[in-house]
Structure 1
Amino acid sequence: MPTGFLEHANITVSDPDRSSALLQKLCGWHERWRGPSQLGGWTIHVGNERDYLAVYTTGAPVGERFAKGAPLNHVGLVVDDLDAAERIVEEAGLVPFNHMDYEPGRRFYFFDWDGIEFEMVSYD
């Protein structure tokens, strides 16, 4: 039977530079690539050597295209220091919510500037 892993996800944002900067601070990632998208618009790949998020923009207002949960519910990211991640989210002017501590780890959620929900998880 084959095995696999998630290589990337592509999310539409209003400001790829701002989203990339936040993800780099939250996860210790780096910019892997940036440039024009094949279908128009602009993309930044931010992640590590194995996987990444593509933060993409067409320039159109994000809120006019998708509502929460249609088609994406949230993006889950694992960090080794959940408290530090929460401070980074707050320093970005975003609001952490729904803090939970249950097996297998602690977590909180936040919406980015475009209404994308992220779940930050720590398994420490």
Structure 2
Amino acid sequence: MTAQLEHANVTVSDPDATAKWMCDLFGWHVRWTGGSREVGYSVHVGTDSRYLALYVPKDGGLKARQDNYTTPGGLNHIAVVVDDIQTMRTRVNETGFTAGEHYDYEPGQRFYFHDHDGIEYEVVQYD
């Protein structure tokens, strides 16, 4: 039996705002919203079979984070696969984020951007 990734849970400053830009940009939908861990609030956004759980603590008690790439357990980036990377690059910029670092190498192309919480996203198109 092979396991499949169903979801990941990330802390964000505003789950509703993050879910909105994800729905607009990636064509996802909100699957569920409600109370969660330690009286926090979560929004599940994605497809019918895979999603991200966007979480904020009850009191917004967010703390500054370290560089994730040097922190054990840190989230380095979240990757999405698209059919047309150039169109998505344009849409990322139109959303108000900055599409940066573009790489072309086997097995495809990719670029990265950061959202308003500083979370890094990788956009990939396989050849």
Alpha carbons 1:30, 1:47 under 8 Å: kept? yes
Q: CA deviation at 1:60?
A: 2.5
Alpha carbons 2:25, 2:95 under 8 Å: kept? no
SS in 1 for 2:39: coil
**Which of 108, 111, 117 is matched with 2:111 structurally?**
108
TM-score normalised to the size of structure 1? Answer: 0.88
RMSD: 1.6
Worse overlay, 41-50 or 84-93:
84-93
Alpha carbons 2:15, 2:55 under 8 Å: kept? yes
Deviation per residue, 1:2-29 (Å, 9 max, x gap): 2021100001111111211122123211
Matches within 5 A, 1:2-17: 2-17=1-16
Q: Distance in 1 between matches of 2:123 and 2:34?
A: 28
Aligned structure 1 segments of 4 or more residues deviating by more than 2 angstroms? 65-70
Alpha carbons 2:79, 2:124 under 8 Å: kept? yes
Counterparts in 2 of 1:74 and 1:101: CA distance versus 1, 3 Å: same
Aligned position for 1:60: 61
How many equivalent pairs are there? Answer: 122
Q: Distance in 1 between matches of 2:87 and 2:61?
A: 33
**Gap regions ≥5 residues in structure 1:** none
Deviation per residue, 1:67-98 (Å, 9 max, x gap): 43331111111111212222222122211111
**Which of 77, 81, 84 is matched with 2:84 structurally?**
81
Aligned position for 2:75: 72
Worse overlay, 8-17 or 35-44:
35-44
In structure 1, give the amino acid aligned to 2:62: P
Counterparts in 2 of 1:19 and 1:96: CA distance versus 1, 3 Å: same
Q: CA deviation at 1:65?
A: 4.2
- Percentage of identical aligned residues: 48
SS in 2 for 1:80: coil
Alpha carbons 2:14, 2:56 under 8 Å: kept? yes
Q: Distance in 2 between matches of 1:103 and 1:3?
A: 25
Does residue 18 (structure 1) correspond to residue 13 (structure 2)? The answer is no
Q: Which has the higher contact order (CA 8 A, sep 6+)?
A: 1
TM-score normalised to the size of structure 2? Answer: 0.86
